[in-house]
Structure 1
Amino acid sequence: MPRTARVKTDESIFHIMCKSISEVTLFKDDEDKKRYLLLIKKYKTLHNFKLYGYCLMDNHAHLMIDANGCDISKIMHGINFSYAMYFNRKYKREGHLFKDRFKSKIVNNDKYLRTLSLYIHNNPTAIVEYKDSPEKYLFSSLSIFLGKTPDSFNLVDNVFVMSLFGNTLKSARKNYYDLLFRCNEEKLEQELEFENEETDYNSERTILIRNFKSEDILEFISSKMNISKIHLNTKYSRKFVHAKALAVVLMRSLCNFKTKDISNTLGNITQARISRLSTIGIDLIGTEEKYENIINDFIKCYA
């Protein structure tokens, strides 16, 4: 049977659920879960989406993602494809890891958003050890929401969701935790049953329109790196690798460029080289303070 087209909009908030095929445990140990979170961070840097919550269980993962103007399929393909490659290498296996495509449902109002957040963070209560203390489960964003642990992966934007639970952070955290244990799991699951539906729900969010010009990106990078723009089109030059790498990340993130488009812009470099430059650029943004806000700095200049 042919697949049906996925209903989606680039402006939506999505409840994403990824599940492994029945005979394989998706996350065999804590290192697997950490790798998945690192991949979310990588593609969050690249695609500039927002993560409003997560919970990784052994055989499935729940994510709440604000696509922020990006194609949700592009985001999830990158994360899950990269994780499947890692998983198959580590465990010396071949074939599919995930069951079908990821499941998604569009969040269409504040009530659903609140319910979804509680549902995701309620998942660890299915484990006896965490039945009465789900905030102690390491691979959920609940403890970050409650202010009990720092966001060590720098992943979660919890301010938006918490604003729906109280007028102050203190009251929001108290209300959130109280509601978590008053949830009726069966009722929640019925409300959150996956189905495709269209929506124009925005809840006063600002959506990033990804129609920036590559010429502006090259101009911005050359100015920031204090180099001539012509060097960004030099095919063989290690001296300007960082500048080209950052340009690649910005074009992928803000122009919706495909590999061919980037190749044409930067002087017919190969797909493998573009992939390598993208990885270098993401690492620079994630590890060097002077580059950590480069995407937002560009947006402020050219929006």
Structure 2
Amino acid sequence: MKLEVLEKDRFYHVYNKGINATNIFSNNDNKRYFLKQLKLYLKNQISIYAYCLMDNHFHLVIKINSEPDIVTQSFSNFFNSYAKAYNKHIGRTGSLFEKHFKRIRLENEEYLKNLIIYVHMNPKHHLDMDFKEFVFSSYQTILLEKETKIERKTVLDIFGGKDNFIFCHNERNDKLTEKYTFE
């Protein structure tokens, strides 16, 4: 797969999974550390619009704010830092992630909107969990009034406000539930 070249001021879906489908998080502390390191290595270089951390993969919806080469290197440093810490923590060696982080450039606002919903629905897709209750996604963060690095106001503006943000997510959830309900 040819990797998308990052461009400044563009939106991307960044994701990756554990090598050989192995877990990249073994507990909630790992997920908190991942988010902490993300902030440390990429603050001011990217804006985060959505995220979801599952046990064996993650999704980020971001906008590039700095020079692409700097951002790419910062992502590399971030992933290497996390992998070293995780490997040390659980007593493993070797690569943790698939070779390169995947990135898909978003071409329009509708795609961005649908991707944000898709990222938040990951607990439903993979674990049959209520996405609203899942702690390691940006869904709750966007709805709360607490300080955050997530682009809350912009995300809510994209959806036309908090009520429509909730409505769009619930509508997608209902469609997923119908799809998997057998009578």
TM-score range relative to shorter protein: 0.7 to 0.9
Report sequence identity in percent: 27
Indicate yes or no: 2:24 matched with 1:26.
yes
Measured after TM superposition, the shift of residue 25 of structure 1 is 0.8
Cα deviation for residue 23 of structure 1 reads 5.0
Instruction: Provide TM-score, normalisation by structure 1.
Output: 0.53
1:48 is the counterpart of 2:45 = yes
Q: What's the CA shift for 1:4?
A: 4.3
Report the Cα distance in structure 2 between the residues aligned to 1:137 and 1:35, rounded to whole angstroms.
Answer: 17
8 Å contact 2:6–2:64 — kept in the other structure?
no
The higher radius of gyration belongs to 1
Deviation by residue 1:42-75 (Cα, 9 ceiling, x = unmatched):
0233x53211111101110000111112324223
Match of 2:146 in 1: 150
Structure 1 residues 87 and 178: CA distance shift in structure 2, 3 A: same
TM-score (norm 2): 0.85
The one of 36, 40, 45 equivalent to 1:38 is: 36
What residue is the counterpart of 2:179 in the other structure?
none
Aligned-partner SS, 1:137: coil
Q: Aligned AA for 2:51?
A: Y
SS of 2:121's partner is helix
Higher RCO (CA 8 Å, separation ≥ 6 residues) = 2
Alignment of 1:146-295 (within 5 A): 146-147=143-144, 150-151=146-147, 154-166=148-160, 172-183=161-172
Aligned residues: 171
Q: For residue 6 of structure 2, what is the aligned residue in structure 1?
A: 8
Is 2:3–2:103's contact at 8 Å kept on the other side of the alignment?
A: no
Q: Residues 32, 40 of structure 1: CA spacing in aligned structure 2 closer, same or farther, 3 A cutoff?
A: same
Runs of 4+ in 1 over 3 A off after TM superposition: 3-6
Structure 2 residues without counterparts, runs of 5 or longer: 177-183
What one-letter code is carried by the residue in structure 2 that aligns with 1:73? T
Which secondary structure state, in structure 2, belongs to the residue aligned with residue 22 of structure 1? helix
